[in-house]
Each structure stands twice: as C-alpha cells, then as structure tokens.
Amino acid sequence: MRNPLTKRIPREIKNDLGKYIALFLFLILSIGFISGFLVAGDSMKSAFDNSFEKYNVEDGHFCLATEIDDKTKENVENLGVKLYKNFYKNEEIKNGHTLRLYRNREDFNKISVFEGNLPENNGEIAIDRLYAENNEIKVGDKIKVADKDMTISATVAFSDYTSLFKNNTDMMFDAKKFSVAVVTDSDFNKIADDNYTYCYSWIDNDKNLSDSKKNDLGDDVKEELAKTGMLTDFVKRADNQAIMFSGDDIGSDKTMMLTLLYVLIIVFGFIFAITSRDTVEQEASVIGTLRASGYTRGELTRHYLVVPTLVTFTAAVIGNILGYTAMKNVVMNMYYHSYSLPPYQTLWNGDAFILTTVIPCIIITLINLFVIAKTLRLPPLQFLRHDFHMKKKKKAAKLPNFRFLTRFRLRIILQNIPSYIIMAFGIMFAGLLLFFGLALNPLLANYKTEVVNNMICDYQYVLKAPVETSNDTAEKFCMTTLYESNDEEISAYGIEDDSEYLSKANVPKKKNEVVASQGYLEKYSLKVGDRVTLKDKYGENKYTFKIVGSYYYPASLCVFMTNDNFNDVFDKDDGYFTGYFSNEKLKDIDDKYIATTITQKDLTTVTDQLDDSMGMSFTLLVGFSVLIYIILMYLLSKLVIEKNEQNISMLKILGYSNREASKLYNRATTVVTIGAILVSVPLIYYVFAGLYHYFMFEMKGWLPYVVPWYVFVEMAVIGIICYAIIYFILQKKINKIKLSQALKSDD
C-alpha cells in the first residue's frame, strides 16, 4: 500500500512552486559559481605547479655587464647547475610602452602559443597574450619596433613571465604597458645590435632539492659570480615575482568564497525551514489526523524534510555540472584577465563536490530538521485546533491608541516576526555583498589618491650597488626586505638623521627602535609600544624592534630607523646605503647600477592593475547582490502573504478592495523592509570593517578602510528600488486571492 504522505509531496511542491523555483535557481547559481571557482582555481594551480617541469622553468637568473667567460661558466656549472643564454633587449615603442625582446627558448623557459605560430620569418613577432588583450592587438596586426613594422604572428604565454613584472623590485606588474616578446634570431641580432642585457638562466641538476638547499645553491652561484665584479642582477626563482606572484594568488580567495557560500546556505536554509513550517501549519488538520491515526513524529519529520533536501541536492548537482562548464569558464577568464598563464586542463575536484554539495545539503537538512521537529512536538489535538503555541497562549500585546489601520499593520508585523527576522538577516547578508561590490572601487580610488599625496619623494632610486651622485638634493637611504610570521614582505628603511624627506616621521636614534607605517599597524593590530619580530627570507635570522611611533605611508608596509641603526642591526659597514630619495631625476648614475626607480607612475600602477583585473569582479558582485536582494525579498514577502491568505480573503468578503488589502499587508512588509534596509546600511559598515580586516590579512599589502558617504546612499537606493519591484509583484499576488479562500480547509 502506497504511503499517503508520499502522495502529498508533488502537491506541496506545486503549492509553493514559485518559491521553490526561485530557491532552486539561486542555489544553482551560487553553488555553480563557487564550484566553478574551486574547479578553475585548483586546475590552474595544478597547471602552474606542473609548468616548472613541463616548460623547464629556470631556478633563477642573473645578469652580467659582459658575456660570461668560459672559466666562470665552468666554475658556476660545477656547483650543480646548467647555464643557458637568455639575452634580451628592452625596446621602447609608441605610447611609452616597453617590449622585452627574446630569441625563442626551446630548451628552457618554454613558450606556450595561444593563437598563431611562433616567428619563423623575419618581420614577425609574438607578444604576450594578456598585453595583446589589454591593448586590443590581434594576430595579423602590425606593430612598429625599432622603426620597423613587424607582424604579430602569435599571442603567447612565457613560462617565466606569468605576471608581467618589468623589474623584480616593482610593486606591481603592468600588463598594459609592458610585454615580453619573441622574434627570430636574425631580427633579434639586428634590433639589439649587440646592445642587449647579458642575462643567463640556470637550472639545478638535482630536481629534488628542498627549498632550503635550492636557496643555498643559489647563494653559492651568487658568491661565485660576485668574484667577477660584473654581476648586475641576480634573482632566484623563489624570489622572482614574474614567475611566483600568480601562483601565490591563484586560489588564495578560497576561504572567503566558501565563507560567503555557507552564510548564503544558512540564510536559504532558514527560508526553507520557514516554508516547511508554513506548510505544516497549513496542513495542521491533516497532520493532527495522521498523528491520531498512529503516524509518528519521526515519520512526519522525514516527510517534510524530503522537499528541501531534494531541492538542495538537485540544485547542488546541477550547480556542480554548471561549475565544471560555464561557471568554470567565467572564473578562468577572470584569472586570464589578470595573469599571463599557460593553457590548463580541467581536473576533477573531489573537495569541490564535498564543499559545494555534501556540506550545503547537510546544513540545510539540519536547519530544517531542527525547525520541523520543534514544530511537530505539539500534540495531535493542537494541530486539529490550529493552535501552534508551544506554551500557554499569551494575551495579545496591548497597542497604543493608534488609528485602526496602523494598529492592524502592527498586528501583522507582530504575527510574522520570524519571517521578518529572516528577511532582515537576508537583507543584511545581501547588503554585505552589495557593499563589498560598491565600496571596493572607491577604496582603490582613495588608496591611489593617498599614495600620491603621501609620496616620500618624486624619485626613489633603489641601487644594485652603492654609487655616489653629485646632486645635493638627493638623500641616501638603506632598505632591505624582512618578513612577518605569515611571510608577508615588510620593508625596513634606514634614513638619515633629520631627513628632509621624512621630517615628520620622528625616527628614533636608539638601537632597535623603529617607526612603523600606519598600514602595518592597522593590518597586524599593532600599537605604539609593541615589539615586533621580523625575519629574513628563510627565517635564519630574526630581528626584534620596538615600535615607538607611526608614520602615514600608504604605499608600503614598512618600518623606519636611522641609517646608523640599520647598519648596526644588519651588520653593514658605516656609510652603507642602497638608494636615494630625490625630487629631481638623477642623471649622473648609470642605468646599469639602478635596480628600480619608484615614481608616481609606479606607485599608482598597483591600483590601476587591481582595478583592471578586479573591476569585472566588482560589477558581477553588484549584480549578484541585487539578485539576492530581489529573491530574498520576494520569497519572504510572498511567505507573509501566503500565510495570511485566509485573512486577506476575509477582508475582501468584508468589503475591502484589493488596493486596501494591499495597504494593510504589503505596507506592513514595506515598513519592515525599508526599516531593515536603513538600519542595515550603517550596521554593515561596521560588520564589513571586521570582515575587511580578515580578508585583507589573507592578501598582500593593505588598503586603508575608507568608504565615501555616497556608497551608503547607493546601497539604500538600490535596496528600495529592489523592493519597489517586489511590491508590484506582491500586489498582483493579493489581487489573485479569491473570496472563497476564507472558506477553504485542509484536505
């Protein structure tokens, strides 16, 4: 004999079809995007990790003032490495852009082709795919290089330039104005005309060296090269931002994305629970009869768990399918719009299935189990009487002597408090996402302005070796890179006593006392008087400093001390320095001694690149948040209407028009919704401040948390507009309620 409860499942779905479709679609989109994010991220991370062997990527490179002699080459290779010529020439082209020209590398640092073919004939050039995309250049177009028109034969990805850093010391890569390129040997010789950079890459003979031993081997190579006195640049692979930066970033947002998913799942779990509880209340007579007939609470609980669990599981499965197809491509395009990554192959991700299917199903099932089981604890007689109070029914709250309609609306609000609480919580969550999307562009713009307004100087020269200048306005400084416990880079500056460029920093002269940048204090929750311990790259040496002041320098996380203190702490000779602060361009220092020059353009490149690579994400997030707003408001507002269908029908019998019934019920919901929106806006600011610190702590650097007033106005306006759309939909819902509804009873 067929279980009569089973017959009711299709009817329950049909009665709330619109609600379940909305929840179903939204779960598909949410789970699909997160699944796609995990699949694409892990697949690309795997491709990145495997690229070192697949493309035979260098373990490091160095540059010399002249070509290496046979004896030095032999000595270096005897250490356990193999050297490869990797000469290049930087060529300026129109609009101030720079192309770094290479010959094709067939044995190391191999190049992957996305479209076209590598240059085979003179006059052909292959350029980086991302640079081409950012500058709207296609295969077949022509580009002028060294006064010669060259044809783009291919768009490619260099395995040693997954992020387009022109210099390893640059603060951020620049995929708009810098590109690596490959030309034929003949064209390279003509363009370079023996005026190229003598760069050599090395690859360790032993592929199984630990990170520590790789580092030691690199130090040995550097020590041997230093004997020549010709070394102008030296970078190990672990320190090479052009290679490692993208790999460190891929998948780094996993925790944040999963947190957002589970908060969303909890919100929709409660929506499912309220819907199930509403179904239980509508079918009270049937439940009372079944309980009196011998059905247990466990049987009924399992029955009412079927629909939410089935909808969630089906949505999760479809979402995962979507994640492996369309959504995976969305995330992939976001990564490819930021980095010059090689092609990748989609991999099966068992963790993604568990995190986006199994866990959401468990969360929603547990929430529904709690709510349904609690509701079904009532005895059968109370169900037959439609009495859902767990305790003795309290008297109705005495309301002030307001107008009748006002008191009626207050009663509606009081009777639907659980639904309205969930709505307020949902609005809060949607508001957080919306705030995130709306606030980040102003945050970047503010950061860019603050960086420019608080520059130390117009030109900050970092030297490869100490070189004197005749410019009297230039001021020497020392700098080295230290690391926090989470391996984030912290710049340690040594500056002159009574520095003209940092006169407001009030740098102490006592040993091991420093002034810290405000961003460093904010990110690591430090304050003046605290002690911090920083380490070198591999943690062999540690340095403890006492923070005695703060200085507002948003361009970097750093500490400042005197030059004498710097040389004492880091065991440098008196008079040692690594660069100059200057408001004038230093023309008497040869470029070969300059590691990098930091100007306003370099400092703002960080924000320009972030805006370019993440701008699409912000737009998607705003659209996603608006969709959440509309769906949440619709589902919960509709729930209030459905719960009160018989009451609304009775009002119509008593002569109230559709418009008047709407004024009572929809306007009650309107008051709660707009109130929740207005209250949530300032509340979200403080909630997001905590989340922002958490998210930024997982990232490199620090952006001051400054949100302009107009973002709050935008949030309120968007929320109200979203509800206005829902209001008209609910009006039609009320119009469709028939007078006969007041006479209906449960089957």
Give the residue from 548, 558, 476, 492 showing the smallest Cα distance to 523: 558
Least confident of 149-163, 228-242, 614-628: 614-628
The mean predicted confidence, pLDDT, of the chain is 81
Residue 88 clears pLDDT 60, i.e. is over it? yes
Q: How many CB atoms are located within 10 Å of the residue 125 CB?
A: 23
Tokens 């009873």 correspond to what residue? 745
Average pLDDT over residues 119-148: 87
Tell me what pLDDT residue 92 has: 82
Tell me what pLDDT residue 532 has: 92
Tell me what pLDDT residue 511 has: 83
3-state secondary structure of 139: coil
User: Percent of the chain scored above 70 by pLDDT?
Assistant: 90
Q: In the chain, how many H helices and how many E strands? A: 22, 20
DSSP codes of every residue in 240-293:
-HHHHHHHHHTTTTHHHHHHHHHHHHHHHHHHHHHHHHHHHHHTHHHHHHHHHT
Tell me what pLDDT residue 539 has: 58
Give the residue from 208, 187, 69, 174 showing the smallest Cα distance to 123: 187
Tell me what pLDDT residue 746 has: 46
3-state secondary structure of 127: strand
Start-to-end Cα distance in the chain:
20
Task: Read off the pLDDT of residues 372-416 as tens digits, 9 standing for 90 and up.
Answer: 888 888 787 777 776 666 555 555 566 666 666 677 777 777 777
Least confident of 55-59, 218-222, 425-429: 425-429
Question: Which residues, including other chains, have CB under 8 Å from residue 690's CB and lie 6 or more apart?
Answer: none
Distances (CA, A) of 471 to 559, 562, 580, 584: 26, 21, 10, 9
Query: What angle do the packed helices 254-282 and 600-643 form, to 10 degrees?
Result: 10
The more confident residue out of 383 and 743 is 383
Distance (Å, whole) CA 478 – CA 462: 9
Residue 560 clears pLDDT 90, i.e. is over it? yes
Tokens for 687?
């909630």
Q: Strand 198-204 and strand 475-483: pairing?
A: unpaired
92 with 98: CB under 8 angstroms?
A: yes
Strand partners, 151: 124, 142
Tokens for 225?
């090269």
Task: Read off the pLDDT of residues 314-349 as tens digits, 9 standing for 90 and up.
Answer: 888 888 888 888 888 887 887 888 788 888 787 777
Give the residue from 620, 573, 102 showing the smallest Cα distance to 327: 620
Distance (Å, whole) CA 348 – CA 675: 46
Using 50, 70 and 90 to split pLDDT, how confident is the model at 561? very high
Tell me what pLDDT residue 65 has: 79
Phi and psi for 489 in degrees, rounded to 5? -75, 130
Using 50, 70 and 90 to split pLDDT, how confident is the model at 531? very high
Least confident of 37-51, 375-389, 522-536, 681-695: 375-389
Tell me what pLDDT residue 747 has: 43
Least confident of 60-64, 71-75, 589-593, 612-616: 612-616
Own/partner contacts of 741-746, CB < 8 Å, gap of 24 or more, are 741/645, 741/646, 741/648, 741/649, 742/646, 742/649, 742/650, 742/653, 744/646, 745/285, 746/282, 746/283, 746/284, 746/285, 746/286
* CA atoms in the 13 A half-sphere facing the CB of 741: 19
Phi and psi for 56 in degrees, rounded to 5? 50, 60
Tell me what pLDDT residue 1 has: 40
The alpha-carbon radius of gyration of the chain (Å, integer) is 33
The more confident residue out of 170 and 119 is 119
The more confident residue out of 118 and 629 is 118
Task: Read off the pLDDT of residues 585-603 as tens digits, 9 standing for 90 and up.
Answer: 888 888 777 877 888 777 7
Distance (Å, whole) CA 733 – CA 662: 10
Using 50, 70 and 90 to split pLDDT, how confident is the model at 741? low
63 with 79: CB under 8 angstroms?
A: no
Q: How many CB atoms are located within 10 Å of the residue 724 CB?
A: 10
Q: How many CB atoms are located within 10 Å of the residue 613 CB?
A: 18
Average pLDDT over residues 266-285: 77
Tokens for 334?
């976001």
Q: Which of 236-245, 448-457, 575-584 ranks highest by mean pLDDT?
A: 575-584
Average pLDDT over residues 68-87: 88
Question: Exposed, middle or buried: residue 211 (CB in 10 Å: 0-12, 13-18, 19+)?
Answer: exposed
Task: Read off the pLDDT of residues 683-713 as tens digits, 9 standing for 90 and up.
Answer: 888 888 887 777 777 667 777 888 888 888 8
3-state secondary structure of 126: strand
Give the residue from 528, 526, 517 showing the smallest Cα distance to 558: 517
428 with 684: CB under 8 angstroms?
A: yes
Residue 196 C-alpha from the chain's centroid? 39
89 with 191: CB under 8 angstroms?
A: yes
Distance (Å, whole) CA 601 – CA 409: 59
Average pLDDT over residues 20-25: 78
632 with 204: CB under 8 angstroms?
A: no
The more confident residue out of 168 and 225 is 225
Distance (Å, whole) CA 192 – CA 581: 32
Distance (Å, whole) CA 45 – CA 442: 31
Q: Which of 555-564, 598-607, 620-629 ranks highest by mean pLDDT?
A: 555-564
Tell me what pLDDT residue 608 has: 66
Tell me what pLDDT residue 105 has: 86
Tokens 């400092």 correspond to what residue? 603
In degrees, rounded to 5, the angle at the alpha carbon of residue 579 between the alpha carbons of residues 578 and 584 is 170
Tell me what pLDDT residue 288 has: 80
The more confident residue out of 222 and 275 is 222
